[in-house]
């Protein structure tokens, strides 16, 4: 693979997003991106790479967080089928979210200096969020980094949204799991998509699961339309073979990273 100047865009995808790091390992050896962007899990990986500009350090920071007792206590892997649990749905009726944003911020402060701002980064970064008040995607490029990361990855109903300047910011994946709309006209764009798959088998006997999978199909077709439109531009889409993994595979990060590495090396 040979590259001219490019912008790297990392989509969401829960645990599948660890494949981004495998791809970054390959690209880093060839040429570093001029810009990097992401949303949700892709935003987390993009932020760490923009800060440290070293895939080995990024992986060590991620491993550190995953091994912390405070992270394991969150049991984020249990939220992969949150809406198929009547108990959890009942909890959501009583509160706006299951995990406070400050809990995630404190975890990130263990691997990112608390006062870090976008201007401190080694690679220009864009994080995509969604403003629940205006119904518009928001691209964050300045200000404090940690609140921006949490906003970009705050899964609606699971992680508390971040309030900022009269906005209620939540996971950028609400607008689309892959933020194709931020492709740059002046650079080649490399987009890493770990979510482009139709929903697979599920339990037809469970009404909540049936509803959940219906929404997944709707999202799939919307993503397909966006994808087809953007492929007319100067865009290279990479799709590591990680569709078998879901959020519940959060602690299989090393395997998923390796999948991304193998795939991108072959490309």
Catalytic residues: 40, 171
State both tokens at 201: 């088998």
d(CA 166, CA 120): 25
Written as one string, the DSSP assignment of 237-259 is EE--S-TT--GGGGGGHHHHHHH
Give burial (CB, 10 Å; 0-12/13-18/19+) of 256. Answer: buried
> ∠56-36-74 over CA atoms, to 5°?
60
- E strands of 193-247, at which residues? 235-238
CA angle 158, 159, 162 (to 5 degrees): 145
- The total number of residues shown for the chain amounts to 267
Start-to-end CA span in the chain (Å): 6
Cβ atoms within 10 A of the Cβ of 157, count?
A: 21
């Amino acid at each position: 693979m040979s590259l001219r100047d490019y912008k790297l865009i990392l989509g969401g995808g829960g645990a599948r997003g660890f494949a981004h790091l495998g791809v970054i390992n390959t690209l880093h050896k060839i040429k570093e991106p001029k810009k990097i962007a992401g949303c949700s899990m892709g935003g987390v990986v993009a932020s760490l790479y923009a800060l440290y500009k070293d895939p080995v350090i990024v992986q060590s920071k991620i491993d550190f967080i995953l091994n912390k007792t405070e992270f394991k206590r969150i049991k984020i892997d249990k939220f992969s089928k949150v809406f198929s649990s009547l108990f959890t749905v009942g909890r959501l009726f009583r509160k706006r979210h299951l995990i406070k944003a400050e809990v995630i911020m404190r975890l990130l402060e263990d691997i990112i200096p608390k006062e870090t701002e976008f201007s401190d980064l080694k690679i220009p970064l864009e994080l995509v969020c969604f403003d629940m008040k205006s119904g518009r995607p928001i691209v964050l490029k300045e200000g404090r980094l940690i609140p921006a990361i949490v906003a970009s990855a705050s899964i609606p109903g699971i992680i508390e949204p971040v309030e900022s300047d009269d906005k209620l910011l939540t996971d950028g994946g609400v607008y689309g799991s892959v933020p194709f709309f931020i492709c740059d006209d002046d650079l080649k764009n490399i987009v890493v998509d770990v979510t482009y798959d139709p929903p697979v088998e599920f339990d037809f006997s469970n009404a909540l699961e049936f509803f959940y999978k219906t929404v997944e199909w709707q999202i799939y077709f919307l993503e397909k339309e966006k994808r087809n439109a953007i492929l007319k531009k100067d865009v290279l889409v990479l799709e590591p073979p990680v569709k078998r993994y879901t959020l519940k595979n959060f602690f299989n990060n090393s395997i998923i990273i390796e999948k991304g590495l193998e795939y991108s090396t072959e490309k």
